[in-house]
A = this chain, B = another copy of it.
């Protein structure tokens, strides 16, 4: 992509309404634009990251056996009256009356709707286990939306819902999502620690929040240092096998949010293993038994022929929030530092002298060859000072920059800069191409 034909509205000044670094950088890098309080447009650069995050979430859900559907954003209030949540939900629910005076709402979550889909389609334990997920926009009418897409009103979420015959089956489904989440966050370049969450009236040990450590995190968290280096299950892990040992290797070590923290247990760890840090919640998995299946009549016949309500769990990942979380976890004073897996482009090319025939030709050649190798490239072919171009490239945080100027081109060299470290080397063009094409 040529920058001259792209839409990348960089802001020169730091927007003063932005309180946290990810919000500031997303606005400055032209990733998003606020349309109303807590409601954003995703501009081209931001949308590319959002799509890449979503694609990794999707791949790992599919790998774990979950099946993708897409439920609508607008729901009938009557469905929520069946579970009793329509009256309970409070002002965060965006309530709507349609032209025929029917009560509707913009879904903040989809337990009721997916239970409705299930109950009309599934009758027998033979069709279980089943896990249906979607990646869809949700709305929560926060009283004070803030922190950009970290706590927006309209937000993109992956929510999965598992259906099993009994609690034992539900645990297997829960373990699959637990492992899928470990893999998902690792692929995003994040260290996300599963921390036991409050299971409320349901009770039990089957609810975890996944927390990314970042110095700018929203809340204090505590964990065993061992968790920072735990190996994440490999791509060929057998999701039909026994996942309990993997899950236990994580859950048997201390990890707690402020809410669930037990200072005595934490204090009993050897001092060097006591990690206190700031954290950002990026996922939440939750077993809730028959809470919805019972009132909504989502039953299957068991092997004995008797009908019983299914055991359910739900599994959320905040996809739009993750984009901000990634920036909170990886940035410096100059801007964003994207992990390669979700970078909006793999490589940026900076033409230091557009209009100079040899420099232009070298840039075009590098662009064509990197694209032929399957790299996604942003080529800054615009007029402008070198300093401003460097600042933009650092701000938008592409993993690699290729800096092309007339002097180097005369010698057959360009500069290769690695964004994460700032290292810059003058290298022969072919060497740069070989390195970036093989990546």
State whether B71 touches A154 (Cβ < 8 A).
no
- A268 CB within 8 Å of chain B: no
Q: Which residue from B33, B43, B74, B154 sits with its C-beta under 8 Å from A154?
A: B74
| A44: nearest chain-B partner, CB-CB | B67
State whether A39 touches B154 (Cβ < 8 A).
no
Expressed in whole angstroms, the minimum distance between the Cβ of A398 and any Cβ of chain B is 17
Expressed in whole angstroms, the minimum distance between the Cβ of A72 and any Cβ of chain B is 5
State whether B74 touches A36 (Cβ < 8 A).
yes
If A41-B69, A70-B47, A73-B73 touch, does A121 touch B35 (CB 8 Å cutoff)? no
If A96-B96, A121-B7 touch, does A71 touch B141 (CB 8 Å cutoff)? no
State whether B139 touches A74 (Cβ < 8 A).
yes
Chain A interface residue count: which class? Answer: 35 or more
State whether B130 touches A71 (Cβ < 8 A).
no
Expressed in whole angstroms, the minimum distance between the Cβ of A371 and any Cβ of chain B is 13
State whether A99 touches B106 (Cβ < 8 A).
no
Interface membership of chain A positions 59-77, coded 1 if the CB is closer than 8 angstroms to chain B and 0 otherwise? 0000001011111111110
Expressed in whole angstroms, the minimum distance between the Cβ of A308 and any Cβ of chain B is 20
If A74-B154, A106-B74, A130-B7 touch, does A69 touch B94 (CB 8 Å cutoff)? no
If A35-B116, A99-B143 touch, does A69 touch B121 (CB 8 Å cutoff)? no
A96 to B95 Cα, complex, angstroms: 8
- A104 CB within 8 Å of chain B: yes
- A423 CB within 8 Å of chain B: no
State whether A113 touches B70 (Cβ < 8 A).
no
State whether A72 touches B113 (Cβ < 8 A).
no
The B-contacting residues of A in range 290-327, CB under 8 angstroms, are none
The B-contacting residues of A in range 92-119, CB under 8 angstroms, are 92, 94, 96, 98-99, 102, 104, 106, 113, 116-117
Q: Which residue from B41, B69, B141 sits with its C-beta under 8 Å from A117?
A: B41
List residues of chain A with CB under 8 Å of any chain B CB.
5-7, 9, 30, 33, 35-36, 39-44, 47, 50, 65, 67-76, 79, 91-92, 94, 96, 98-99, 102, 104, 106, 113, 116-117, 120-122, 130, 132, 137, 139, 141, 143, 153-154
